[in-house]
Amino acid sequence: MRTIDISMPVAPGMPSFPGDPEVVVSPVWRLAKGDGYNLSTWSFGSHTGTHVDPPRHFADDGATADHLDLDVLNGPCVVVDVDPSARAVAARDVARVPPGATRVLFRTANSARWARGIPYFPDYVALAEESVGPLLDHGVRLVGIDSLSIESDPSGRYPVHRRLLSAGALILEGLRLAEAPAGPYDLRCLPLRLASADGAPCRAVLVAP
């Protein structure tokens, strides 16, 4: 068995979605200054790096990050490769999801760009709206992708987020899948237990058979 960390390191200067808070770390106590221990203040947004989108992200009465079903976020999953030249995750990519799979992570050209140290790029590969219906029809309960947002929607309507979350499917964003070839894995994902939060950063790993 091999464990693959698919999380983004959280640090000042890391890529962030436009308009989201940046990571700020401020020292409080430091051994180098004669204090008894090291301690810092960390400030960042609820959708920083690798994170889970709960229903509250788009619905005031939706479930918050501290009330998510952890069984949905942990268990067998499948990584599906998307053609590196593709500009979106299309319905034909969904068609390659194995029968019975309820957790799907899409590995696109984004992962290779993250691996090369490229900062935030606006032309990221996202999930096409046409793919949402087939995913839900397939019975998928968790959809993950290697972009900071699962959709690219200049209109600001966010139909992909709204359709998935309203149907009870969770969204896992900000993955780094360069070291995770397509195939079956065991996903282990624990979002921070932030009370009443509209999102939560998480540590996500894949256990390869």
Q: Which residue's entry shows tokens 């939560």? A: 200
Q: What is the pLDDT of residue 208?
A: 95
Does the active-site annotation cover 67?
no
Q: What is the pLDDT of residue 23?
A: 98
Q: How far apart are CA 7 and CA 161, in angstroms?
A: 21
Half-sphere exposure of 106 (CA within 13 A, CB side): 38
Distances (CA, A) of 13 to 21, 59, 119, 144: 11, 30, 9, 24
User: H or E element: which one contains 183?
Assistant: strand 183-191
Residue 209 has pLDDT above 90, yes or no: no
Domain chopping of the chain, boundaries: 2-11+45-208
- pTM attached to this predicted model: 0.96
> pLDDT tens for residues 198-208?
999 999 999 99
- Extract the tokens encoding 26: 């401020």
Q: Identify whether the C-beta of residue 189 lies closer than 8 Å to the C-beta of residue 202.
A: yes
> pLDDT tens for residues 157-191?
999 999 999 999 999 999 999 999 999 999 999 99
Mean pLDDT for the chain?
97
2: confidence class by pLDDT, cuts 50, 70, 90: very high
4: confidence class by pLDDT, cuts 50, 70, 90: very high
| Of 70, 65, 71, 69, residue with least CA distance to 51 | 65
The b-or-e profile of 40-55 (16+ CB within 10 A means b, else e) is eeeebbbbbbbbbbbb
| Of 57, 74, 51, 69, residue with least CA distance to 172 | 51
- Extract the tokens encoding 122: 């606006």
> pLDDT tens for residues 111-147?
999 999 999 999 999 999 999 999 999 999 999 999 9
DSSP calls for 132-181: HHHHHHHT--EEEESSSSS---TTS--HHHHHHHHTT-EEEES---TT--
Catalytic residue among 57, 67, 138, 161: 57
Domain 2-11+45-208: top CATH class: alpha beta
Q: What is the pLDDT of residue 92?
A: 96
Residue 85 has pLDDT above 90, yes or no: yes
